[in-house]
Amino acid sequence: MMRVGARIFKTGIAITIALFLSQLLKMPSPVFAGIAATFAIKPTIYRSYLSVIEQMQGNIIGAVLAAILVMAFGNHFLIVGLGSIIIIVLMLRLKLDDTVGLALVTMIVIMETPGTNFLQAAGVRFATLFIGIFSSFLVNLIFLPPKYEAKLFVRLTHATEELLKFIRITSRQEADYHLLKEELPTIKERVYKVEQLYTLFKEEKSYGKKRKFDAQRKVVLYKEMVSILNLTYIILKRLHQYKSDIAYLPDAFQNMIQEQLEFLVNEHEKLLLMFLGKVKGHSRKNDTGDEQRNELMELFLHKLKDESFRANLQSYHIMNLLALLVDYQEQLEHLEKLIEVYQLHHKEKTELNINELEDQ
């Protein structure tokens, strides 16, 4: 069942405004403004701005081509069909794929304009379509402006918690591997949706020099969080793929991998709480992770002295997993520094955003 969201309401409001303005200006065919209004509603103000530019280009191209065809060949339905083909090819060549629909509507509407005073009537219909485009942009700018941070943080947190839960049970050899195999594509889809939300959040514009700096720092923060989310998915995938290789390692080696994963997962969870102001960062450098990592690498290097292990694919798989764990630890340390710097300079704004997030 489709959820009724802000975009649906905004589309309805945009159509209403377009029809109202057209009737107010006594346009002969207000319905065309309503049709045009449906094309320019976008999920962010920035995308809406880009859409208006592209829709105007499509509108102008459709109107000019329609005028040329009507004046040269008339408005026979075969000419309209030929014009549609030309419009589609032209718009694709100009990489204006998203505006093909409106360009076709513009061309057909203008080509069906009565013969007397054709140019004047075509101009009026062109203006009516422009009212629809403008109405959509106005609605995106004023009514229910999109706020993606809360959605992004909530989805990112849920996806992270699920991944960390699976990493824990997989590292302990407690996972149902058949069930995990079926679940991996669903987890990947959730990660992809978080990436999409991050893209929309990144496109939100802030006005004023100080607010821009605040927004840019937060974009960098979320970028690192999403990057680590992707990394945790890859680690879970490798744990599943290399389960047999890990199972044949000495018990001490398996225990060290499990301990390192447990430490990193705990650190990851703490950083999410730290971002919300629920826990403090480390007052001094935490050497536990470094010590465990060094011991793990020493065990691996010692194991490499075994010629049969070195000649086996198992050694490459374990090396790949250990490299991912090193990368995971480094990215977590980088994220902690980013959070500390952000909260140091933007404490009040962080608290305000926390309240917004908790209300979701």
Question: What's the mean pLDDT when you consider all of the chain?
Answer: 80
Query: Mean per-residue pLDDT for 239-248?
Result: 87
Run of H or E including 139 = helix 118-142
| pLDDT value at residue 115 | 60
pLDDT at 125: 76
Nearby residues of 132 by Cβ (< 8 Å), 6 or more positions away: 14, 15, 18, 32, 33, 34, 35, 36, 37, 38, 39, 40
* pLDDT score recorded for residue 44: 67
Residue 1 has pLDDT above 50, yes or no: no
pLDDT at 131: 85
Q: Tens of pLDDT along 15-47?
A: 888 888 888 888 877 887 887 787 767 766 667
In the block, residue with structure tokens 């305000």: 352
> Token pair of 65, please?
């081509």
What confidence score (pLDDT) does residue 188 get? 94
What is the rounded distance in angstroms from the CA atom of residue 151 to the CA atom of residue 161? 15
229 pLDDT above the threshold of 90: yes
Most confident segment among 15-29, 37-51, 208-222, 269-283: 15-29
Structural domains for the chain: 6-142 (no CATH), 149-358 (1.20.58.220)
Tokens 């839960």, located at residue: 165
Maximum average pLDDT range among 115-129, 250-264, 304-318: 250-264
Of residues 68 and 189, more confidently modeled = 189
Tokens matching residue 111? 């080509």
The confidence band for 165, taking pLDDT boundaries of 50, 70 and 90, is very high
- Whether 284 has a pLDDT exceeding 50, the answer reads no
pLDDT, position 145: 60
Q: Which pLDDT tens digit goes with each residue over 185-208?
A: 999 999 999 998 898 888 776 544
Phi, psi for residue 157 in degrees, rounded to 5? -65, -45
**Given this model, what pLDDT does residue 208 score?**
44
Output DSSP code: residue 97: G
Separation of alpha carbons 299 and 314, rounded Å: 15
What pLDDT is attached to residue 328? 94
Question: What would the mean pLDDT of 324-353 be, rounded to a whole number?
Answer: 80
Q: Where does the pLDDT of residue 2 fall: very low under 50, low under 70, confident under 90, or very high at 90 and above?
A: very low
Q: Which of 125-139, 296-310, 318-332 has the lowest mean pLDDT?
A: 296-310
Mean pLDDT confidence for 143-166: 84
